[in-house]
A and B are shown apart, each in its own frame.
Chain A
Amino acid sequence: MAQMQVLVVSATRELYRGDASAVFARSPEGEIGILPGHQPALLALEISSVRVQETDGDIITWAVHAGFLEYRDDQLTVLADVAERPEEIDVSRAEAALDRARQHLEDPNYEGNARAELRRAEIRLRLAGA
């Protein structure tokens, strides 16, 4: 069976390295599936999930915050700012972060980026299915 090498890297560590038979992701222009032998491509990824189908049929999913996917020469690389397995997401922590971000939005003196905090918390919660 045709396969390709897949590497998933987040800003803080390497998450996955292995062989896969398909990878599914979402670019700004829609859902995309990549099979071995696909045309070489560079995609920006939406805040969404990336699914890797391993050669034995198992599917591994990551929540990706902002990232890129490059495919060439049967080598597929996903670079993501933040990538988490849904089961790794701490729901109560994300909920607390959401509340905090909402407060920050109200606070005119807050120096951080409240909107980005809100967005990140929302994504985490959505992907954790909470």
Chain B
Amino acid sequence: MPGTAELRALRRRIRTVQNTQKITSAMELIAASRIARARQAVERARPFAEGITQVIRDLSTAADLSEHPLLVSRDPVKTVGVVVITSDRGLAGAYNSNALRRAERLIRALRSEGREIALYQIGRKGDSYFRYRDESFAATWFGVTDKPTYDDAVDIGERIVADYSGERIDEVHLVYTDFRSSLAQVPTAVRLLPIEPRQISGGQAYPPQFVFEPNPDEILERLLPRYVEHRIFAGLLESAASEHASRQRAMKAASDNAEEIVDDLTREANRARQAAITTEINEIVGGSEALAEG
């Protein structure tokens, strides 16, 4: 009978789209709940950041900073380390392409100044992006960005500080995605090393009876790598929150789109069903008239 085959095909398509929609809306819900947790992690890490920054500021009035290798700008700068944070998984809207575009812009600017680039890639998406473009990596880390732990940040920080101290790189920049709100995530590039003096200036001098164990220079020696690690940690947390927010938005759009497709297909299916019924009635009426005439 005409129309039935078409009807069956339409119903099958509706079911397929509905199944996809179930997946996208589940992913949307998961992402939404992870945003809240990622935001909390950012908030909870703040007291430490404030504490360590304050101590470094105060300490820098007591210790001699001009000599510290993590604070001194090198001349000339030959190789620049670029740390890029992307996600491991896709389906996160424009999150990765925005972060990568920011990284690409930074790399182009540095190359135009004649710098060599050493890439430190965190997250698979950036890895495949740069690999496709024949870039090589100084180091890569996977499985970190979804739910960053402090141990991860320490691993990454130690490697970067070691390469910097070993003069394999003369400057380090970090590209991460800053979570401003659930609607706005901004890919951002900051300089990690050498530490910019204005970030650690403005401390209050310690009163003279203060005791230091060990001496202020040595304490600072221990503190500064921690400070770098914590900035990487903060970058990872901000990026994770941004990733989840982007994914939620992308999955919401996908679910809404699926809804629309189901509506259209349903309308089409109804039309096909109506056509099938009309044809059937026509045939019956035609048949009975033929019989009556006979």
- A69-107: contact bitstring with B at CB < 8 Å (1 yes, 0 no)? 010100001010110000000000000000000000000
Q: What residues on B are CB-neighbors of A117 within 8 Å?
A: 155
Q: What residues on B are CB-neighbors of A32 within 8 Å?
A: 213
Instruction: Please judge, given known A-B contacts A12-B41, A12-B45, whether A42 and B226 are in contact too, CB under 8 Å.
Output: no
The reply to whether the CB of B154 lies closer than 8 angstroms to some CB of chain A is: yes
Q: Is the CB of A43 within 8 A of B213?
A: yes
- How long is the Cα–Cα vector from A43 to B229 in the complex, in angstroms? 20
Q: Is the CB of B140 within 8 A of A111?
A: yes
- How long is the Cα–Cα vector from A29 to B211 in the complex, in angstroms? 12
The listed residue (B155, B210, B229) touching A42 by CB distance below 8 A is: B210
User: Within residues 108 to 122 of chain A, which ones have a CB less than 8 A from any CB in chain B?
Assistant: 111-113, 116-117, 120
Instruction: Please judge, given known A-B contacts A42-B206, A116-B158, whether A66 and B222 are in contact too, CB under 8 Å.
Output: yes
- How long is the Cα–Cα vector from A42 to B222 in the complex, in angstroms? 13
Taking residues whose C-beta sits less than 8 angstroms from the other chain, chain A's interface range is 20 to 34
The reply to whether the CB of B190 lies closer than 8 angstroms to some CB of chain A is: no
Q: What residues on A are CB-neighbors of B41 within 8 Å?
A: 12
The listed residue (A11, A13, A42) touching B219 by CB distance below 8 A is: A42
Number of chain B residues whose Cβ lies closer than 8 Å to a Cβ of chain A? 38
- How long is the Cα–Cα vector from A70 to B50 in the complex, in angstroms? 14
Q: Is the CB of A13 within 8 A of B51?
A: no
The listed residue (A9, A11, A41, A77) touching B211 by CB distance below 8 A is: A41
The reply to whether the CB of A24 lies closer than 8 angstroms to some CB of chain B is: no
Instruction: Please judge, given known A-B contacts A9-B48, A70-B55, A79-B51, whether A44 and B159 are in contact too, CB under 8 Å.
Output: no
Q: Is the CB of A9 within 8 A of B47?
A: yes
Q: Is the CB of B150 within 8 A of A113?
A: no
Q: Is the CB of A29 within 8 A of B214?
A: yes
Which chain A residue has the least Cβ–Cβ distance from B158? A113
B159 to chain A, nearest CB (A): 6
Q: Is the CB of B47 within 8 A of A81?
A: no
- How long is the Cα–Cα vector from A42 to B223 in the complex, in angstroms? 12
The reply to whether the CB of B44 lies closer than 8 angstroms to some CB of chain A is: yes
Q: What residues on B are CB-neighbors of A7 within 8 Å?
A: 47
Q: Is the CB of B55 within 8 A of A120?
A: no
User: Within residues 32 to 76 of chain B, which ones have a CB less than 8 A from any CB in chain A?
Assistant: 41, 44-45, 47-48, 51-52, 55, 59
Q: Is the CB of A113 within 8 A of B159?
A: yes
The reply to whether the CB of B151 lies closer than 8 angstroms to some CB of chain A is: yes
- How long is the Cα–Cα vector from A71 to B222 in the complex, in angstroms? 18
- B: which residues have CB within 8 A of A? 41, 44-45, 47-48, 51-52, 55, 59, 139-141, 149-151, 153-155, 158-159, 162, 206-207, 209-214, 216, 218-219, 222-223, 226, 229-230, 233
- A: which residues have CB within 8 A of B? 7, 9-14, 27-29, 32, 39-44, 66, 68, 70, 72, 77, 79, 81-82, 111-113, 116-117, 120
Question: What are the nearest 6 A-B pairs in CB distance?
Answer: A13-B44, A41-B211, A27-B213, A11-B150, A113-B158, A43-B213
